[in-house]
Structure 1
Amino acid sequence: MGGSDPDGCGMGVRMQQRLRLPDFLHGVNLNYAKLVYHHLISHLLTMFLIPLMVVIAILTSKMNPGDVRQLWFHLQHNLVSILVCTGLTVLGCIAYIMTRPRAVYLVDHSCYRGLPQHKVRFDRFLEHSSLTGYFDESSLEFQRKILERSGLGEETYFPEAMIQIPHHPSLKAANEEAEQVVFSALDTLFLNTSVEKKDVGILIVNCSLFNPIPSFSSKIVNKYQLRGNIKSFNLAGMGCSAGVLAVNLANDLLQVHRNTYAVVVSTENITQNWYMGNKKSMLISNCLFRVGGAAILLSNKSVDQGRAKYRLLHTVRTHCGADDAAFSCVIQEEDSNGKIGVSLSKDLMEIAGGALKTNIITLGPLVLPIREQLLFFATLVARKLFNAKVKPYIPNFKLAFDHFCIHAGGRALIDELEKNLQLLPVHVEPSRMALHRFGNTSSSSIWYELGYIEAKGRMRKGNRVWQIAFGSGFKCNSAVWEALRDVKASPKNPWEDCIDNYPVQTGS
């Protein structure tokens, strides 16, 4: 997701005005406190049971032989009561096992890497834009400035139809782009995991702007001859955060359907969605979005725990669509000349900031250490009840996560989240490098970032990863994963031909 600010080329300078800390957290104090309180109360029983069990164990260890014989005498004369209690306990354990949330494992994921002849250098992009005849001099200069400040490198990919002069944004060309990206990612995924196609019980495809008939999920079923009773879904129009949303849907389905695999495919299509007009707010997407896609294999089979890379801990979805301004801040429409493009509202950054706040309100109590939550709560009480002049305590999310995969929507978005969440350069390195190497690949960008961390050999057993993405509607979605082992990059990782060249300096 880009931004309407030409200097920001992403979430823009308006976010700097709206999301500065501590003002960023000032509006979430009361809601966050309520969630912290709810979180503590929800675990109150566990907090009391553990000390109780310790006390019982200590007392039992101090019993003498006479006490033990007396206890055995009582048990013999209360056999019926003991059997009833034991039976109820067993039934309770069975009910708990049957109804508890099933663990969902990420077995592996793969990302598409384009062909060398499809790389788009800046001079080639600008030459192509000039030769099409769609843009006036002002628009060409505007695009040049966007590219220079975008954080993109010279090796991002365009589809075949967009490289040709004249370009051919036909339905056939769009299908060819989608098939090349998706089938390539799926071929790699199936090869690396050795999963049988007939064992895939759930298929979810998300692509916002390209929705052919039959759906692309049906194309995948046809291509790989997947089974006839597969649960197939095709998500459209849900923006750059749809990748996390698709994982959330897969997680819900895997709670219902036992012993099966779910395949999630996240991509976007460029061929038919290149804006051919001169409205500045619609030109940004031309400069930022590039070809990309990812395929993810999820499982609820306990036998996969040993070979899976990650376990899904949490998904948090924030939807601000009930608000009219949020609903219309990113919208596909025609300009005054009838040219179709994606229009970005001037209020986009303010709305994105609000969505991020709400998402963090929900996520914080789930992941932050109790110490961080109590410190936040204590400073809130001091400020609200005693009017103490104490600065709001900013929870340290670095204590909850080892790695961050922030949607590579633009340089300014990454800059602001780095500042507002008080992250270190190494935490946002995967996002910056994914933007530089592959551009804004929409919903799949967070998977290129996870691939970067793996290719660098930084993922250790027990590490936690926070994936966060923004999208039209307006949405902010998060997913939290825990590494089940020291994770190495899988074969055909998209970074395998260039990882030694990274990180690079992307400028300011």
Structure 2
Amino acid sequence: MELFSSSLTATTILLYVVTPLLYLCFLVWKVVNHKRDHECYILGYQCYKPGDDRKLGTQCSGSIISRNKTLALNDFKFLLKAIVSSGIGEETYVPRNFLQGRESNPTVNDAVSEMDEFFHDSIAKLLAKTGVSASDIDVLVVNVSMFPSVPSLTSRIINHYKMRDDVKAFNLTGMGCSASLVSLDVVQNILKSQRNKCALLVTSESLSPNWYSGNDRSMVLANCLFRTGGCAILLSNKSWLKHKAIFKLKCLVRTHHGAKDDAYGCCNQKEDDEGRLGFYLGKNLPKAATRAFVDNLRVLSPKILPAREMLRFLLVSLLRKFKSVTSAPKVAALATNTKYGNKSPLNLKTGVDHFCLHTGGKAVIDGIGMSLDLSEYDLEPARMTLHRFGNTSASSLWYVLAYMEAKRRLKRGDRVLMISFGAGFKCNSCLWQVMKDVEDRNVWDECIDQYPPHSLANPFMEQYGWINAVQDPTNFNLLSQPATN
């Protein structure tokens, strides 16, 4: 009877003590195992710098503009003002057909050649830099908004580099300037669900077939801002490659206001009244961007800021609401007028060390800087990237990141916030953690020591400022007048 009682006691202990402990250990192992090999690391990235023969200097820019016979005197004055205030220098790059005088009559081969030059240069350099073979790539994501080729651009890359036949390829079009982070979201979701994968993200824009040859000011602005560029990024979730990683993705937030008609229509590709295809930038674009930015910050802030900052923000918001019931601020405390508005009471610097901003234009950079109360030091990478490379659409964020790296700003443990805007209308953001001290000069190698320059003023006013004094719209030649002293 005593033996039976002892056996029953041991069984009871096993049932009520050991079994729950084993189950708890199983749950812990399950959580740890689930997170293992599901991270998203950047092993390397390579921005694209075309040859010097594709630089768009002041004189060359004037030649291209003068070929547009639909422009009148006031249109030239408008363009001069836009270019002078754009923040773009004269060392940016354009497609070859622009320089050859064929911007209004592009061919499919022009667009294909533009993309191939980028693919063959940047991807090859990236693979050589990281020591990864093209056959090791499991996932390929390419985003080029305005050139949906057949076969797809992913197929061109797979064919050129002879990738495996089981590579998972995704070709994104029409996603605008924020497509880079959309592609990153695709890669992140794949790496979360599948282990031991390497992914190649290729981001660019095709300008060759997208020159606007009309005189609609809302569409001709795109000609002033967009320039050739691109970037190839190698990502992985392999834990044994963690020591080689330079960045780790902490979080990514996507905001899409496509359901709002005004946001949807403020930035799109369409034909003007004369049937000329171009890229339209509406007057309500700043307002749409502000609303998307506010909503994105509302979701992003709790993910990246410490609890003390969120508590301080709550107290400040309550105090403002108490002081002014009729003009209470929104949750993110950003104004929704046509400018980027008032400063946010949120101090993002409590959770972010560096800000990687989309180079959509000087006004965009100024607006975000004012909204987030950023210093000139914080805005310098975006300003210098805009000046040197222009708005390279979805790839612009990576040129900004490369500037920070070339300046040796990024140290292990630092947190880098990327913010981008795109047609749709979208605002996407993500936070990276620097895994080790980095100082690769990337495409900035030859010029980083000259940045920042004493002045960002471009020479367009000096060269073409005389046009503002012209009164007779029928008696002037844009290329024959001397420079203003």
TM-score by length of 2: 0.85
1:129 aligns with 2:65: yes
Distance in 1, Cα, partners of 2:230 & 2:79 = 24
Distance in 1, Cα, partners of 2:358 & 2:52 = 24
Task: Return the offset for 1:402.
Answer: 1.0
Change (3 A) 1:97 1:270: same
Task: Return the offset for 1:87.
Answer: 1.4
Q: Which residue of structure 2 lines up, in the alignment, with residue 95 of structure 1? A: 30
Q: Per-residue CA shift, 1:209-265, capped at 9, x if unaligned?
A: 111100101111111111111111111111100101111111011111210111111
2:440 to 465, 474, 489: 489
Task: Return the offset for 1:443.
Answer: 0.3
Matches within 5 A, 1:112-191: 112-167=48-103, 168-191=105-128
1:108 aligns with 2:49: no
Contact 1:205 1:235 in 2 (8 A): yes
Q: Which residue of structure 1 lines up, in the alignment, with residue 307 of structure 2? A: 370
Contact 2:316 2:345 in 1 (8 A): no
Contact 2:91 2:389 in 1 (8 A): yes
Q: Which residue of structure 2 lines up, in the alignment, with residue 31 of structure 1? A: none
Distance in 2, Cα, partners of 1:387 & 1:243 = 40
Contact 1:239 1:471 in 2 (8 A): yes
Matches within 5 A, 1:40-55: none
Task: Return the offset for 1:384.
Answer: 4.8
Q: Which residue of structure 2 lines up, in the alignment, with residue 459 of structure 1? A: 410
Give the letter aligned to residue 137 of structure 1. L
Distance in 2, Cα, partners of 1:308 & 1:348 = 37
Distance in 2, Cα, partners of 1:112 & 1:134 = 33
Task: Return the offset for 1:445.
Answer: 0.3
Q: Per-residue CA shift, 1:179-207, capped at 9, x if unaligned?
A: 11122111111110111212211111001
Higher relative contact order (CA 8 A, sep 6+): 1
1:85 to 5, 8, 20: 20
Task: Return the offset for 1:420.
Answer: 1.2
Task: Return the offset for 1:321.
Answer: 0.4
Contact 1:418 1:424 in 2 (8 A): yes
Identity value in percent: 38
Q: Per-residue CA shift, 1:18-75, capped at 9, x if unaligned?
A: xxxxxxxxxxxxxxxxxxxxxxxxxxxxxxxxxxxxxxxxxxxxxxxxxxxxxxxx99
1:343 aligns with 2:293: no
2:240 is paired with a residue of what secondary structure? helix
1:475 aligns with 2:412: no
Give the letter aligned to residue 345 of structure 2. I
Task: Return the offset for 1:378.
Answer: 2.2
Change (3 A) 1:286 1:324: same
Contact 1:408 1:446 in 2 (8 A): yes
2:370 is paired with a residue of what secondary structure? helix
Change (3 A) 1:75 1:177: same
Distance in 2, Cα, partners of 1:124 & 1:500 = 26
Matches within 5 A, 1:191-230: 191-230=128-167
Give the letter aligned to residue 63 of structure 2. E
Distance in 2, Cα, partners of 1:287 & 1:387 = 42
1:353 aligns with 2:290: yes
Give the letter aligned to residue 223 of structure 2. N
Task: Return the offset for 1:332.
Answer: 1.0
1:213 is paired with a residue of what secondary structure? coil
Q: CA RMSD in A?
A: 2.2
Number of aligned residues: 433
2:375 to 421, 424, 435: 424
Distance in 1, Cα, partners of 2:16 & 2:249 = 42
Task: Return the offset for 1:342.
Answer: 1.1
Give the letter aligned to residue 506 of structure 1. L
Q: Per-residue CA shift, 1:140-192, capped at 9, x if unaligned?
A: 33222211111001100011111013445111111101111122111111110
Give the letter aligned to residue 243 of structure 1. S
Task: Return the offset for 1:80.
Answer: 4.4
Distance in 1, Cα, partners of 2:305 & 2:210 = 40
Q: Which residue of structure 2 lines up, in the alignment, with residue 298 of structure 1? A: 235
Distance in 1, Cα, partners of 2:173 & 2:145 = 4
Q: Per-residue CA shift, 1:342-375, capped at 9, x if unaligned?
A: 1122211111100000000000001111111001
Q: Per-residue CA shift, 1:466-489, capped at 9, x if unaligned?
A: 111100000000011000111121
Contact 1:126 1:144 in 2 (8 A): no
2:43 is paired with a residue of what secondary structure? strand
Contact 1:152 1:436 in 2 (8 A): yes
- Worse-superposed segment, 324-333 or 88-97: 88-97
Task: Return the offset for 1:382.
Answer: 4.3
1:380 to 302, 312, 317: 317
Give the letter aligned to residue 427 of structure 1. D
Structure 2 unmatched runs, 5+: 1-8, 334-343, 459-485
- Worse-superposed segment, 373-382 or 353-362: 373-382
Change (3 A) 1:166 1:312: closer
Contact 1:75 1:82 in 2 (8 A): no
Q: Which residue of structure 1 lines up, in the alignment, with residue 451 of structure 2? A: 502
1:394 aligns with 2:345: yes
2:269 is paired with a residue of what secondary structure? strand
Q: Which residue of structure 2 lines up, in the alignment, with residue 328 of structure 1? A: 265
Give the letter aligned to residue 114 of structure 1. P
Q: Which residue of structure 2 lines up, in the alignment, with residue 242 of structure 1? A: 179
- Worse-superposed segment, 374-383 or 283-292: 374-383
1:145 is paired with a residue of what secondary structure? helix
Contact 1:204 1:263 in 2 (8 A): yes
Distance in 2, Cα, partners of 1:295 & 1:87 = 46
